[in-house]
Amino acid sequence: MDPWIADSAQAIAATAARELEALVGVSSPSGDVRGAEEAIAVAVALLPPDARVERVPCSSPGHAPDLVARLPGTGGSRLLLVGHVDTVVAHDAHEPLRREGERLVGSGSIDMKGGDVLALGVLRALAGRRGDFAEVALLLVADEEWRTAPFGHVERFAGFDACLCFEAGQRDAGGGDAVVARRKAAGTIRITAAGRSAHSGSAPDDGANALLALAAVAQAVAALHAPAGPQHLTAVPTVVRAGDAFNVVPAAGELVCDVRADALGAFEAVLAAVPREIGGVTLSAENLRCWPGMDARAALEPVLARAGQALGRPIAAGRRGGASDASHFAATIPLTVDGLGPLGGGAHAPGEFVVAESLRTRAEVALAVAAASLAHSRS
């Protein structure tokens, strides 16, 4: 292994667990300004001393400003590191970090405060290699988990040579190191129902039941679920709301569905499956979120080969179904790679965890990919 990678990864790992404890100790559900500000303050404290800090508008209204930290160099390449500080966990369900054997368990640990810790560590390590780059920038956003507004940062980093995103890491089928080179497009489809209320005991047939109509739509959407199909479409009803009283026919309601596919165009079939009317209930469907997919395999092939040589073990290019901010940058920064965070599991669930040892081994992977990306951009 390249000595710089080995030494820098060891330095990152020496403090990573404590830094993760500090970040996870902050409850920062998406949309909570105070929590985001506190998490960003922790991140700023972990930056290289001469990093230039900017607070820029978040893509989502009402959120705390996002963090951009810039590290100047004397070389010619520009590298972007990406993460987010928001979680899906509400304050009353938040769990601080605790150790359970080989696991570091806590809210937001793998999605993605563990990745933020590694991104900050990579930035500090690169501070000693100023001749390798013109600029390394770190972007930490406060709205990745619940954003429906257009992403506001692509133009800000136009012209950068490479983008590294630190969502959770993964292994290949043989148990070796892997990163994410392909991601599905993602959408959030909302169906609203407008029916007619009536007394559910004395005159139920005078009403038009929004709940029953939405139940039928949920079945129609679920019938399109085809993860093994040509577009690898997943169509999953996730939230339904209808009715205000136990003895009233529900007159209104809402259904939300999560959809993922290789391309955004696949979502049109889901929208088309929603009828305009069922049983006197008027239905309306819209796609609230359109996150593009990414496929950077061709651009990454030489970079991962170079990184594997420096690392002393291969790095595979994998795929993942979940959405990520890396996808937004992939169209303008072809050398975009994701999944550079630690290993773990349980994202969005109470038992969310990071594998403690992976804070070192995945730091090695991230450092190797960062160095290879800068070298590739110079060549």
pLDDT at 153 over 80: yes
- Measured over the CA atoms of residue 326, residue 3, residue 71 and residue 298, the dihedral's sign is negative
Strand pairing of 135-141 and 78-84? parallel
Domain extents for the chain? 3-184+293-378, 185-290
Q: Give the pLDDT of residue 69.
A: 98
Q: Give the pLDDT of residue 321.
A: 80
User: In which band, very low, low, confident or very high, does the pLDDT at 297 lie, cut at 50, 70 and 90?
Assistant: very high
Helices (H) and strands (E) in the chain, counts: 8, 19
Element (H, E) at 57: none
Percentage of residues in the chain with pLDDT exceeding 90?
93
Phi, psi (rounded to 5 degrees) for 126:
-70, -20
Q: What is the pLDDT of residues 202-212, one digit of tens each?
A: 999 999 999 99
Q: What is the pLDDT of residues 164-177, one digit of tens each?
A: 999 999 999 999 99
- Residues 116-143: b if buried by 16+ CB within 10 A, e if exposed: bbbbbbbbbbbbebeebbbbbbbbbbbb
Q: Give the pLDDT of residue 209.
A: 98
Q: Give the pLDDT of residue 146.
A: 87
- 330-349 mean pLDDT: 94
Please state, in angstroms and as integers, the Cα–Cα distance from residue 224 to each residue in 57, 237, 255, following that order: 38, 11, 16
Alpha helices in 59-146 (DSSP H): 114-126
3-class state of residue 226 by DSSP: strand
User: In which band, very low, low, confident or very high, does the pLDDT at 148 lie, cut at 50, 70 and 90?
Assistant: confident
> What does the alpha-carbon distance between residue 290 and residue 260 come to, in Å, rounded to a whole number?
10
3-class state of residue 95 by DSSP: coil
Q: What is the pLDDT of residues 269-292, one digit of tens each?
A: 999 999 999 999 999 999 998 889
User: In which band, very low, low, confident or very high, does the pLDDT at 322 lie, cut at 50, 70 and 90?
Assistant: confident
User: In which band, very low, low, confident or very high, does the pLDDT at 323 lie, cut at 50, 70 and 90?
Assistant: confident
CATH fold for the domain made of 3-184+293-378? Aminopeptidase (3.40.630)
CATH class of 185-290: alpha beta
pTM of the model: 0.89
